[in-house]
Amino acid sequence: MDDSINVYPSKEQTAQKMAQYILSEINTIQKPAYIALSGGKTPEVLFDYLTREQADWNDIHFYWADERCVPIDHNESNYKSAQEHLFNPIGVLPHQIHRIKGENDPSYERWRYENEIQETVPSSGNLPAFDMILLGMGSDGHTASLFPGQPETLYSGRLCEVAVHPETQQRRITLTPRLINNSKQILFLVTGQEKAQSLKTIHREDAEKLPAGHIQSHYGATHWYIDQEAAQYLRES
């Protein structure tokens, strides 16, 4: 599988095209399959497109690339967002959902989630290998909860780490690049002009400068779905 950068005119068209790709994969992928979701606002548009067409979601297991350390019913819970915009509409059953428990002590939950992944996600090489990880990117180039200036999470030898949001100091549980890069497919959904500069840094200057630039499937494919606003500095000059 080759990497790709896919640019579409609007946020909605970008999310729709990514959803169509995911649905085609879901209907052909060998089951059981293992998918990790991201949080933030962008995935809600994607989730809404995913629910519009029929797909066989049975035997798909859902995980998260990161979660905020908040209660399950908190408005910032990535689980709550997925439950409302994806799981409820398509009828995902509880045994398919492997939630990061944001209500737990972060250090304990880091350990617990790392073990749940090791025990439930089949390995490739000597690491668990998700079939697909869906990621976003912040305007500062963070992805999952891998933030600039936090090398201890970026270069961690573990599968999960506790991170701290640099502005809000909110604690997060995040997958590490070591685990993410062992996935068969990594799909980025990045929209909005505020993301353009970081995309330019990653794709035109020096990927290593930003956390999202450290993400690249080692054995599979990395696909970027980007709207024209976010891709404005990527056009061939």
Q: Is the peptide bond before 148 cis (omega within 30 degrees of 0)?
A: no
| Site membership for ligand 6PG, residue 81 (CB under 6 A) | no
How many C-beta neighbours within 10 Å does residue 139 have?
15
Segment near ligand 6PG (CB under 6 A); pick from 32-40, 54-62, 85-93, 178-186: 32-40
Residues numbered 85 to 144 that lie near ligand 6PG (CB under 6 A) are 136-138, 142-144
Rg (CA), the chain: 16
Nearer to ligand 6PG, 32 or 106 (CB): 106
| Site membership for ligand 6PG, residue 39 (CB under 6 A) | yes
How many C-beta neighbours within 10 Å does residue 60 have?
19
Choosing from 14, 16, 38, 201, the residue that interacts with ligand 6PG (CB under 6 A) is: 38
Least spacing, CB of residue 225 vs ligand 6PG, in Å: 12
Element of type H or E holding 225: strand 221-227
Choosing from 14, 16, 42, 81, the residue that interacts with ligand 6PG (CB under 6 A) is: 42
How many C-beta neighbours within 10 Å does residue 134 have?
24
Rounded distance, CA 60 to CA 73, Å? 23
Least spacing, CB of residue 58 vs ligand 6PG, in Å: 26
| Site membership for ligand 6PG, residue 227 (CB under 6 A) | no
Rounded distance, CA 125 to CA 182, Å? 8
Choosing from 78, 176, 183, 185, the residue that interacts with ligand 6PG (CB under 6 A) is: 78
Nearest in space to 214 (alpha carbons), one of 135, 120, 122: 135
Contact residues: ligand 6PG, CB under 6 A: 38-42, 65-66, 78, 136-138, 142-144
